[in-house]
Amino acid sequence: MQKDVEATAEGSVLSGKLKDYYQLMKFTLSFTVVFSSVVSYLLVPGVSFSIVSVLLLFAGGLLVTGSANAINQVSEKDTDAMMKRTSSRPVAAGRMSVDEAWTFALVTGVAGIFILGYWFNWTAAALSAFSLFLYGFIYTPLKKVHSIAVLVGAIPGALPCLIGWVAGADTFSAGGWILFALQFFWQFPHFWAIAWVAYADYSKAGFRLLPSTGGPTKYAAVQAILYSVILIPIGVMPYVFGMSGAVSLVIVAAANLFMLWQCIRLYREMDVRAARRVMFSSYIYLPVVLLALLADKAG
């Protein structure tokens, strides 16, 4: 009986620890990031599906992204503790020490970069290291200084597309930059919508993320519209450069127009409900666009 109780207690401790690491690396966010990298890899001309390569790219990307997210949580443990939606994170809540989180970040970062370099190429690995550094040590502290942090953060946010492309092509070429641009400009309406919805929490923590110092204003909504407009010509580029066919051209154009319409509605309605529509539309946008390009891959 005593052994059963001890086994149950040990299982509970292990389960709790695994859950903490899951939160530390922001698994859902990391999965989304790595998804764009894998799709970009598979869009490279001449690259065919290989379960081994896909799993290794997924593992390497997940480890690097998890490392960046761990650094983010260590750096923001005090502000995370102030916000309702982040107060339960392991470092902020005190369930995990700063040293343990740093160890996790170091081990996962090094392991992920090594996987990408050894299995694919060291250019992709170097891009991953740069992305990790930019997100963890530049973007993260800049969030409290100036709203330009969103611009800086959009670079590591879009680099997974370029990393995936370079991993497959072993060089920089137009396709990788087009995918980078799509994900780069998509992030502005996406992130500003999140900042609009969570404005009270972000303000309490001292984060300056909306493009207007006045918070959720018409100016912020106009900026979201402008970046959505920029996505429209970029969405045509995969077809122009022969990366995909006419079917995906139509799907991507429809997705871009839908995003633009949601941003226009935000400008007209100026409320959290409209911002939440932009936010959820952006969540749907990216997988729809990437999967449409992959399904309609030319050649």
Supply the pTM of this predicted model. 0.90
Asked if 119 contacts 53 with a C-beta cutoff of 8 angstroms, the reply is: yes
First to last CA, the chain: 64
Q: What is the DSSP secondary structure assignment for residue 37, as one 8-state letter?
A: H
Q: Give the pLDDT of residue 52.
A: 94
Task: Please give the residue that has the higher pLDDT: either 210 or 73.
Answer: 73
| Residue 145 shares a structural domain with residue 234 | no
Domain boundary among 153, 171, 189: 171
Q: Do 153 and 284 share a structural domain? A: no
59 lies in the same domain as 191: no
The vertex-258 CA angle with 216 and 151, nearest 5°, equals 45
Residue-wise pLDDT for 250-278, tens only, equals: 999 999 999 999 999 999 999 999 999 99
Domain boundary among 171, 204, 221: 171
**Average pLDDT in the 154-182 region?**
94
**Single residue among 150, 171, 192 that ends a domain in this structure:** 171
Number of domains in the chain: 2
pLDDT at 47: 86
